[in-house]
Amino acid sequence: MIFPANGPVNPIQVIYDTMNQPGAVRVDTTPDITMNEYQRLAARTIRTDMGNIAMTNHALHGMVSEVGELHGLHQKVYQGHTLDEEHAKKELGDALWFIAEYCTAHGWNLGDIGQLNIDKLKARYPEGFSEERSLHRADNDV
């Protein structure tokens, strides 16, 4: 990740920029865990007495529930609360757990799903996000 030497930080640009940008401070972005390793470790806490259909449904209900909890944290900001970022991170982690469970129920590797998504985004936006390309996607681009 790159942090500009001065000026406001745009987190999207920070991630997107090259590591050789003048004035940037280089920070290690090596992941502590791969997506497939996360899935393997998360699977340790999946109920073993559920079949694949029940596991799929459990994962779907869980994903929606965790997104709802995250949404609730943001809703409280409109009531004067400060966003509890540590709580938000935990809810995102829970959502990730349910995504991993869904993949496990279907025999998919989480890393493969991540790579499939990156490949799709590279094909859709070869030069980075473009409003024009977003508005005029190919018929088979899902």
* Domain limits, the chain: 1-30, 31-135
Domain 31-135 in this protein, CATH class: mainly alpha
pLDDT for 75 equals 97
Q: How many residues can be counted in the chain?
A: 142
Note the pLDDT tens digit of each residue in 126-142: 999 999 999 999 888 88
pLDDT for 28 equals 65
pLDDT for 13 equals 53
**Angle 109-125-115 from CA coordinates, rounded to 5°:** 10
pLDDT for 7 equals 54
**Angle 122-133-125 from CA coordinates, rounded to 5°:** 10
Which of 28, 45, 50 is CA-nearest to residue 93?
A: 45
Whole-number Å distance between alpha carbons of 115 and 103: 14
Output the pTM of the full model: 0.77
Write out residues in the chain with pLDDT < 70, as ranges. Answer: 1-29, 31
Structural tokens at position 86: 């540590």
pLDDT for 1 equals 40
